Every structure is written in structure tokens, then in C-alpha cells.
Structure 1
Amino acid sequence: MEHKHKNTATAAGLLVAMGIIYGDIGTSPLYVMQAIIGNDPINELMILGGLSCIFWTLTLQTTLKYVVLILRADNKGEGGIFALFALVRRHAKWLTLPAIIGGATLLADGIITPPISVSSAVEGLKMLKTKEGLPYVTDTVPIVLVILTGLFIFQILGTKVVGKLFGPIMLLWFSMLAITGLLWIEHDWSILRAVSPHYAWALLTSHQAGTAGFWTLGAVFLCTTGAEALYSDLGHCGRENIRISWIFVKIALLLQYFGQGAWLLHHQGMLLGDRKPIFELLPREFLFTGICIATAAAVIASQALISGSFTLISEAIRLNFWPKVRLIYPSDQKGQLYVPSINIFLWLGCVGVVLWFKESSNMEAAYGLAITLTMLMTTSLMAYYLHIKKIDMWWILLFLVVYISLEGAFLVANLQKFSHGGYVSLFIAGVILLVMYVWFRATRIKKDLTEYEKLADYVEPLKELSRDETIPKYATHLVFMSNAGRVSDIESKIIYSIFQRRPKRADIYWFVHVDTLDEPYTMDYKVTVIEPDDIIKVNFKLGFRVEQRINLYFRKVVEEMVARGEVDITSRYKSLNEQNVIGDFRFVVLEKFLSFDNELPLMDRLVMKFYFFLKQFMNSEDKWFGLDSDAVKLEKVPLIIKPISRCNLRRVD
């Protein structure tokens, strides 16, 4: 898989960026102003102050932090919190914690976004009235559930064809936002005074109870929740396509927000109730069409979050943050990925959110709290990235002060939502965080305590075993998957498997190691012939976004070695050798289980028990490496972390 940097903008790239990246942030006008006004009477300070906060949030948070600054931190053209972590992890081990927290909260956000986006759009149907003045639709929950269920079922097929429609639909959506917003701004040009930060300051420092005053930031933050997606989807669209398309998107969003503000100014003193400002801006004869376009945009926003979650999990697996679940590539298009277990998890989460909260206005309480933590974690990782890039310390401190203050204020304001539904997103994030921490910690425990031996000490014994005809031949080519990264090392468990568990005589012993790199799309390998036609070691260096298809890659390596005359793979059986029949290949994968013979501290014991509990629901090692099941031997070996030192056993004669 070859990756090319996309540092130049193209018309096609701009359209793709429109369809993939801006779904979340682009559907925010469906609910942001409604969340700011809440259940209070519409008043001028709330309108102008809210608009001012939106303007400066989109400018400072989305534009300056993400579009201008963070897009610079690309990992060979890839973005996202795990791609950023891969850039800095070798410099500081402690950065693992913010990476895991950021990944967990971002995944939790993927469960809240589809319900709130689709519900906000579909609830516009309540505004369609019969001749008697009654709404055609009173309960939108079944419609929302049908749309979301269909969307998750559709993931199985891949989105290659429909993906081409995303750009034009989102272009139509943003054009609708801009035009309808501008038409209402023309009713009252004075609404543009809200650009002044004076109104934001006046609102945030006003002594109002409930959700007003400073606490309005909890609702304002919803306008920038999709900013993290700008960075996460860097690899799909390229930096310049994102930056240029953002100019149009930001103008369209601001025109819509200010248009809604102009409409609200004409309805001061009234209660907003169930009315949605975005649909009030539409001409009555265009209302149903507008609702359909809004629903399509919400589905696209949901699709972007789902696809992003699949990519996030695939990266987490290769960074040892997540169990090795099954990954499926439904098409040959780059970035097309389907993770069945995560698809079911997200669907159950979305259905649960819809059934629990029922209306989008209730979901707003659960939305925003988790993603605020993601942004804070990205800020901390970015600050360290600037440090290793030798940026002046004063600029780094300025960056930290500005964005920790800004995002800290959003976090404090969002904490008010905790008892009203914010606990839902934090609970989901907490479960994901627990799984990530346990998997990472357990992997480190296993890695730190794996015993290695010098392969050179076993060259002669392996050659003698290969020639010992008193032992039945196990395979012509015996391939072991090894964790030993150094060419000179081999795990003691592999040596035990070859010589003691059941002597495994083979003509050629292959030891294959896979090293996951911090770069996304590297596909390199190195062959070390330790003993010609007897012992060969192959080290694969694969990027953290490369699919693990070791069976295919190994076959390619063998073909290239044969072409170079480095190895003879014909069968060593005399009758087969004379006919030039290729010898059989057999893979052996060692899978560890937790031995009873362990004395562990309580915390480590809990971590390892939970790790092996999760492992029984996951793919076996051979399936993860993409090995053919009929040519694989899966051997279970006990994992003894700390042997029991005391055994009060007494012999009685």
C-alpha cells in the first residue's frame, strides 16, 4: 500500500473533503442555537452573546488550533490523536495516558453524534402540519431508529459507491445553510455586531443562573465538536484540501448561525419550545425538501463518525491499545474498513441513546463532555510535538495557556451537564478507557517478562534435528511467528516447542517477526539467512495502518528469495524432489494462557484476569496474522509472570 502526501488542492479533493470531513461540524446548526436559548425566553443578550461565542470558538478553536496549527502535525500524511501519539511516543512514555484518554473519549463521541444529528434533522417533520393544524408526525423515535439501523447494516457492504455522493450532497447542504442564513441577515444587518467579542464577554460574565451566563459555553461548544474530525481525516483528503474547503464551510456556517440570530431577534420574549431555528429560516414550500437535505447531511455526518471509529480502532489495535478484533476490507479502496464488533457496539450504543433520551434536546446534555477531554489530550500531545520540533518554548507555553484555558472553560461548563445526561458519555468513555488500559498494560507485562535466548546457541542443534531421520518429519518448511525483534534472539518458548513439547523436525526453520512502526503505510521486510537452507529469519516492518496479511506477505518474500537463488523450496522427499514439487509450509503460532502457577500483586492479577477474559472473545493469533487455517498449528503455552515461591508440601514416608 503506497501512500502519497496530498499537499496540493484539487477540485475533486475539495469535494471529497466536503463530503467526508465536515459532517459533524456541518450539522451543528441543527441544534446549537436551540441549545443556547434552552427553555428561557428569547433575549438579546443571549442571542448576541451566543453568536459572538460561536464566532470566536470557530475562529480560535477550529480555525487557528486545528486548521492552521494541528494539521501541520501529520504522520506521513496521516492525522488523528493516535497518529499524533505515534509521532511522539518514543520521546516520552507518559504520553500513553493522554493518548488512551483521547482515543476513548473520541470513540464515545461516535456513539452520541449519530443520534443527535439524525434526531435533530428528523424532528423537523414535526413542523409539517395538516390542514387542521396538527403535525403529520408526533413521534420521530421509530424513524430515527430505522435510519440508524439501516446505516449500520449498510456498513457491511462498504461505502465506495455512495461515498461519491457525499461531496455533492454536503455542497448542497452548505449552500442551503449559506443562502437561507443570508436571506434572514438581510432582514436585520445589525445582527453582525455580534462579531465583537464584547457581547461574548458580557454574556459569560453576566450573573445568570441555570444554563445561562458562563454555563452557556456548554451549549456553544457543540458548534466545534467536529473539529477533531478535521485532523482525524487528514489522510483521506490532504492538508490543503481541508484548509481551502474550510473557508467556504466556515462562511456557510457563520451565515447560518447569524441568520438564525436575526430570526431570534424578531421573536424576543417568546419561548422557543420545540421549534428549530434552522427550519424556521426555510420558506414553507421548501420545508420538506430542506428536512430531507438535513437528514441526508445527518446520515453523512453519522457515516463519517462510524468510519472514523473503525479507523481509530484499527490504529489502536496496532498500537496495542485494543484487542485484536476482526477487521474486514470490503473494497480495494484505501480507507475502506469494516470492524464487525465495533459496528455492533456503536449500533447498540446509538439505539440505547435514542431510546434513553428520545429527543435531540435531551441528547445535548450528554453531548460535548467527552469530546472536550479529547481536545485537551490533543493539546497536550501537540505541545510535546512542538517541543520535539524545537519550537521556541515561549510559543509552546502560549499555545498551552490559550488552549488549556479555553478548553478548560468548556470542560467546566460541560460538567454541569453531568447529572442531566453527561454521565452517559463519560460512562461509555470509561468502559472503553478500561479496555484500552488493561490491554496496553497486560501487553507490556507480557512483553517485559518474555524470555529470550541467543539463536546462535541453537543453530547446530536445529541442524542436527533436521537431519535426524529417527524423528518423523513435522513439515518441510516450519514457520514460527516470533516476538523477537532482534535477529540474534529467539523466545525460549519457541525453543521449548521445537525440542521438547514435541520434537518438530523440518528441513528449513523460518522465524517471522512483525514490527509495527510509528509511520502509517510502511511495508518493508528484511531477510537474514542464519544458516543457508536451514535457518532463516524474516522481519516485517509494517505501518500502524497496514493490514496484517502475513500469509500473503510471506509468500511474496519466499518468491523473491527463490528468484534470487537464496533458498530452495522444493520438497526434500526424494520422490517429490525429482518432480520439483514445492515442499509444504506449516505455521506455528504460540498463544499464551495465564498459568495457575503465579503469585501476582492484586492490581496485576486483576489486569491479567480481565485481559484473558477479553481475549477469549477475540480473534486467535493465527486469524489476526491472516494465516491459512489449514496450514497453522496453534500451540497454547502457559504464561508464568511470577512463579509461586512458597509451596508447603511435605513428603510422608
Structure 2
Amino acid sequence: MNSTHKDLHSKLTLGGLLVSLGIIYGDIGTSPLYVMKAIIGSHIINADIVLGGISCVFWTLTLQTTIKYVLITLSADNHGEGGIFALYALVKKTKIKWLIVPAIIGGSALLADGIITPPISVSSAVEGIRTFYPEINTVPIVIGILFILFTIQQFGTKLVGRFFSPMMLIWFGMLGILGLIQITKHAEVLKAFNPIYAYNLLSIHPEGFYVLGFVFLCTTGAEALYSDMGHCGRKNIRISWIFVKITLLLNYFGQAAYLIHHEGETLQSLGGANGNPFYLIMADWFQPIGIIIATLAAVIASQALISGSFTLINEAMRLNFWPKVRIKYPTELKGQMYIPSINWLLFLGCVGIVLHFKESKNMEHAYGLAIILCMIMTTILLNFYLIMKRVKWYYYSPLITVYLIIEFGFLVANVTKFSDGGYVTLLIALILISIMTIWHFAKKINKIYTKIVKIEEYKKVLFELSSDLSIPKYATHLVYMTNAGRIDEIEEKVMYSILQKRPKRADIYWFVHVNILTVPYKTEYRVTEMVKDDLYRVDFNLGFREPTKINLMFKEVIKDMVTKGEVDITSRYESLNKNNIIGDFKFVLSEKFLSNDSDLTFFEKIVMNSYFLIKKLSLSEESAFGLDSSSVKVEKFPMVLHAPEKIGLTRVQ
């Protein structure tokens, strides 16, 4: 780990703690808006269910969020970065191929969660207005807020970020104070710290396991907490979590204290059609202020998840799980990015969720099923990370077993939500899993059927072609992008393009290779001189979170080589050379299409046809590499899979 990342994780500053509040805890911090409301639902308030439910909330936040994520999983950072794809990049070194399965399922489930978190958070907050206007339709208001939120993404979160931290500090302060007021009135609620109440709910009460599906909502933001680690640092997260957890528990226990005091009643009788214990514990005069603060906190929670989705897709692209899409960098901050296509797809998904479910109480049934899948996948990958770190088996085995039992328990409890709306997030996750799987397998098939040749065999002919004045000059500098990992190799199609497709004479040939590393941030390059003043290879080693701006990077490499006297890039045309004019650069990219001569298996047919369909909708190769389209030539090559060796023609006279 380099010193920057060491500093990030060892530094403990007031600024870092405040930034953590604004960026990390949006999702988990807004859970009090809907958890207790979901646990009680439309049933008559029962003290046993309330105490059992709040006991489950306390132990879930302690075992799942505090111990698993804040203490253990945050230690599994990939050069300072967290999240399921960063964890996969680490365990990938074990060479266990099937680990790609939990990575793809987990990443897809987390993205699916990103589509339902903004609607449920914003809806829960906005529905507080019904306290004053019971008949108001909140759907247009929620969609309006979401539209504004997704529109401002293109400007980056630098300015908005300054507002996030103080706002979340006010939010958590409000949570703690409101809860504390209720606890002082009904201190008997504190006995729920005893796990026997959680045990009784799950083992004795007939509705206990059903309630567990809603208890799980209190920890859904834990996975996002791990994903955003690179923004704030491990130490700042661990210390700030102490404050966050205390305020969350105070509010949860405060809501429980209020509900116990109103045993035998219903939420509807206490607060009308939209009775929510979160708002019921507020004094009447404070409710309008509380609604405004809750709405702002919900917007911030949504913002954090949208930014996390951008990061996740960027990592998926680098790991060959996702088609190339356009990425913009609205600010100079490391890790800040904006992906227009994902932004508006998320927005459409969120609007679809709001229109389908209409109210937050209906969304509660769809929420949680996808994210528990993500947590189980993280636990599986974490197991192999601990093995890789040579942790003794008698330490990690019981730990992983306990968490798999807990999480599978939550999964079973959440499966009951499937028919009530859980199918929506699972369907979204399934679509995302399909895209990632198709893209990954297609890339593997592509690699298998790409013929590689040794450059050594072509050095002589390239040198002679460069000097052959009978062939019109194609460019002064001809640049080919190559996927060949070894510096002494090149794809056969590249040599076919230079020598046969149309002989391309150039003064200097360049082969450029981009190697995406398993570390998040690194920008290195290596130049290999193959034939002096005639043939060069440039290898870029880029972190999986670095932008691929080959046009700018290649210019920087050339500038550095010219400064060191390693290459002469002035035009070889006599009139231009004597006036010191720089020669032209032409990039050549190859684009494959599926040949009709291919004899595909059923699986390959589905994968490759789907791959080429998705490819049409994704970013072009020149845009993906950040190349200037005016100097790029794209050549099409047929991709032949399992070509028949002999057709068996018979010659007749």
C-alpha cells in the first residue's frame, strides 16, 4: 500500500469525521424513517413484538454492521478502496475461478438496491406532510425531488458535499434528542438490550420470522458503507460510527418506548392513514421542521447511493463485467465521476418504483431481498480473503459460519416478501447479472479465438515496408491498440491490417497496450524500442478507477520521449521536415463482427449474439479509449468460432 493510502486510513481528523457523516451514512442513517413503521405495519401494537423487534435491531446493528462491516470487512481494502468489486480484485489472486460468481451476484444486487433506496427514503420523508394534509398525493412531489437530484449529478457533488456533512450532523443530532426524550419517559424499553427478547420473538411468537424481514432494513446501508471507504478512510469511519450508532439506537429505542406506551392501538389510529412512529415521537410544533430535515437527509442518502453506483459501474467496466459507457469527471476530486447513461437509467428505475408502489409502506416489501444477497456474497469473498491473509482456520471458520447462518436467516425472512414486491428488485438484479455474465463470458470467448503471433517474425518486413516508396504513405505515425499482454507478441489481425488489408506504409509504427490493474489508482507506462526509429510499443498500467484517456496519455509519452531524445516525431516529408512540422498520428482500431462461418454451440450463440447486441448500445472503442475521432480508423474483422475445417467440395468437369 502506498503512503497516500496509509495516510488516508491512519489519519483521524475532525474534517474526516464530518465528511464521513455526509458521505458514508446516508443510507443506514435514514433507516429510522421506515424500520419501526414496517415492523408494526397495520397490526395492533403489541409490546412483545416491539421489544423483540427493537432487541433484534440492536443485535443486528451490533453483529452485522459493527462487527462484520466496521471492524472486520473494512480491513479488507484494496489499496485504500472498498466494496465488493475491490474485494473480488483482491481474492482474484487466489486463482479460484468460481469466485467471479459471488462478485457478479453481489455487485448486481447492490446496484438493484440503488434503484429502490432513493424512492423509499424520499417517500418516507415526504409522506410526513400527510400529518397536515392527509389527502395529498405525494407521488408527484417524490418524482420532482428525484428529478432534481438526478439532474444535479452532472455538476458533481463538490459544492453539494459541503452542505452534506453539517446537514447530516443536524440529522443525527435530531435522531438522538428525539429518541432520548421518549426513553426518559418510558425507560423500561431499555430492557430490550437483553437478547432474550429477540430470541423470544423469533422462537415463540408466530409473526417473529416475518418481523425479521423488516428488522433487516436497519442494516441495509452497511454494504454502501464498505463501498465508500476510499472517500474517508477506515479510522474516520470507525470513530464516527460510534456517534452514528448511538444516535440511531436512541431513536429506535425512543420510537419503541412511544409504541409500548400505546399498546393495543394502531399506527393509523395514532397518526392517521400514514401513521409513522418516526413523526409521532415529535412534538406537534416541531413536525414541520422534522419533515424538512428528514427530506434533506433522504436526498443526501440517495445522493450517496447514486455516487456509489457510478463507482461500482466504473469498477465493473475495468474488470470486464460491464460494457464501456461514457464517464465524465465534473470535479478534480479523485474518485468523483458522472456516468450519464447510468444516471438516467437509475432515474427511470426510481420513477418506475415510485409509480408501481406509490407509497413507502408498499416499497418496504421490495426492499432488503436484493441487498441480503449482496451481503452473503461479501461474506463468501471475505472467507477467501482471510484464507489469503493466512488467518488461522479456527479463527475464520466459526466467524464466517456464524455470519452465513445470520444472513441466510435474514434471506429466508426476506423471501416472504417476494410476492409482495421483492420480485421487483430480484428481477432488476437478474437483468444486471445477465448483462455482467454475458459480457464476461463473451470477453473470454473473444480472447480464446484471438490469434497471437510473435513480432520478431515481422520486424524485417515492417522495416522494409516503411522504406518502400512504391506504396503511398498512410501516415507518418501509425498507432495500433493491442490486447496482447506480452511485449513480444501482437494479434495476427494487426499484422494482416498493416500488410494485407491495404498495405499501410508509415515512418514509425506504434503498438499501444492498456493493462487494467487490480489496484484502484495507478498511472504508469513503459516504452519498448523494437526497431530504432521504426517500431515502438507503449504499455499503460492503469488502476481500475483511473480514466482511460489514451489520447492525452499518449501525447504525454511522446513529449517525454522527444525531450529525452528517444524519438524524432517531425514529419519525414522534406518541406515539412525542414520547417520542423510534427508528423501526423493515425490510430487504427479493430472491431469484430460474428462471421456467418461460425459453428456455435447453443451457449456460445446466446452469449455472442447478446454480446454484439449490447455492444451496439455501448460506447464505441475510440470513445472508450478517449481517442480523437478525427484521427481514428476503425476496421472491421470477422470473428470465426469453430470454423468447419473441410466443407467437402467435389470438382466436376
Common topology (TM > 0.5): yes
Q: Does structure 1 residue 219 correspond to structure 2 residue 214?
A: yes
Q: Which runs of 5+ in 2 are unaligned?
A: 269-273
Per-residue deviation, 1:448: 1.9
Query: Could you tell me which residue of structure 2 aligns to residue 70 of structure 1?
Result: 73
Identify which range, 642-651 or 554-563, moves more after superposition: 642-651
- Letter of the 1:424 counterpart: V
Which of 31, 54, 57 is residue 28 of structure 1 equivalent to?
31
After superposition, residues 113-132 of structure 1 pair within 5 angstroms as 113-128=117-132
Query: Could you tell me which residue of structure 1 aligns to residue 111 of structure 2?
Result: 107
SS in structure 2 opposite 1:84? helix
Matches of 1:433 and 1:80, distance apart in 2: 17
Per-residue deviation, 1:229: 1.1
Q: Does structure 1 residue 231 correspond to structure 2 residue 226?
A: yes
Matches of 1:340 and 1:647, distance apart in 2: 49
Matches of 1:380 and 1:200, distance apart in 2: 26
Deviations 1:324-351 (A, max 9, x none): 0111111212222111111111111100
Per-residue deviation, 1:98: 0.4
Q: Does structure 1 residue 260 correspond to structure 2 residue 255?
A: yes
Per-residue deviation, 1:226: 0.0
After superposition, residues 115-154 of structure 1 pair within 5 angstroms as 115-128=119-132, 135=134, 138-154=136-152
Identify which range, 634-643 or 64-73, moves more after superposition: 634-643
In the alignment, is the contact (CA less than 8 A) between 1:29 and 1:257 conserved in 2?
yes
Matches of 2:187 and 2:539, distance apart in 1: 66
Per-residue deviation, 1:640: 1.1
Query: Could you tell me which residue of structure 2 aligns to residue 186 of structure 1?
Result: 184
Query: Could you tell me which residue of structure 2 aligns to residue 450 of structure 1?
Result: 450
Deviations 1:404-434 (A, max 9, x none): 0000000000000000000000000000000
After superposition, residues 485-496 of structure 1 pair within 5 angstroms as 485-496=485-496
Matches of 1:399 and 1:597, distance apart in 2: 53
Per-residue deviation, 1:623: 0.6
Which of 174, 185, 189 is residue 176 of structure 1 equivalent to?
174
Matches of 2:647 and 2:542, distance apart in 1: 45
SS in structure 2 opposite 1:408? helix
Deviations 1:270-309 (A, max 9, x none): 1113211111111111111110000000000001111100
Matches of 1:483 and 1:596, distance apart in 2: 24
Query: Could you tell me which residue of structure 2 aligns to residue 390 of structure 1?
Result: 390
Per-residue deviation, 1:70: 0.3
SS in structure 1 opposite 2:264? coil
Matches of 2:423 and 2:123, distance apart in 1: 20
Which of 88, 93, 97 is residue 97 of structure 2 equivalent to?
93
In the alignment, is the contact (CA less than 8 A) between 1:160 and 1:331 conserved in 2?
yes
Matches of 2:173 and 2:370, distance apart in 1: 30
Deviations 1:527-585 (A, max 9, x none): 10011100000111100000000111111111111111111111111111111111111
Q: Does structure 1 residue 53 correspond to structure 2 residue 56?
A: yes
Matches of 1:388 and 1:2, distance apart in 2: 23
Query: Could you tell me which residue of structure 2 aligns to residue 425 of structure 1?
Result: 425
- Letter of the 1:600 counterpart: L
- Letter of the 1:226 counterpart: G
In the alignment, is the contact (CA less than 8 A) between 2:326 and 2:340 conserved in 1?
yes
Matches of 1:646 and 1:506, distance apart in 2: 38
SS in structure 1 opposite 2:617? coil
SS in structure 2 opposite 1:186? helix
- Letter of the 2:424 counterpart: V
Matches of 2:80 and 2:485, distance apart in 1: 27
Per-residue deviation, 1:3: 5.2
SS in structure 1 opposite 2:160? helix
Query: Could you tell me which residue of structure 2 aligns to residue 195 of structure 1?
Result: 193
Query: Could you tell me which residue of structure 1 aligns to residue 271 of structure 2?
Result: none
Matches of 1:401 and 1:571, distance apart in 2: 67
Alignment length, in residue pairs? 644
In the alignment, is the contact (CA less than 8 A) between 1:383 and 1:399 conserved in 2?
no
Query: Could you tell me which residue of structure 2 aligns to residue 163 of structure 1?
Result: 161
SS in structure 2 opposite 1:367? coil
In the alignment, is the contact (CA less than 8 A) between 1:589 and 1:621 conserved in 2?
yes
Per-residue deviation, 1:2: 10
Matches of 1:207 and 1:290, distance apart in 2: 34
Query: Could you tell me which residue of structure 2 aligns to residue 462 of structure 1?
Result: 462
Matches of 2:217 and 2:109, distance apart in 1: 15
In the alignment, is the contact (CA less than 8 A) between 1:206 and 1:214 conserved in 2?
no
Given the superposition, is the C-alpha separation of residues 625 and 598 from structure 1 closer, same or farther in structure 2, using an over 3 Å criterion? Answer: same
In the alignment, is the contact (CA less than 8 A) between 1:3 and 1:521 conserved in 2?
no
Per-residue deviation, 1:650: 4.7
Query: Could you tell me which residue of structure 1 aligns to residue 327 of structure 2?
Result: 327
Per-residue deviation, 1:483: 0.4
Per-residue deviation, 1:652: 4.8
In the alignment, is the contact (CA less than 8 A) between 1:184 and 1:281 conserved in 2?
yes
Q: Does structure 1 residue 534 correspond to structure 2 residue 534?
A: yes
After superposition, residues 490-529 of structure 1 pair within 5 angstroms as 490-529=490-529
- Letter of the 2:367 counterpart: Y
Query: Could you tell me which residue of structure 1 aligns to residue 618 of structure 2?
Result: 618
Per-residue deviation, 1:217: 1.0
After superposition, residues 337-486 of structure 1 pair within 5 angstroms as 337-486=337-486
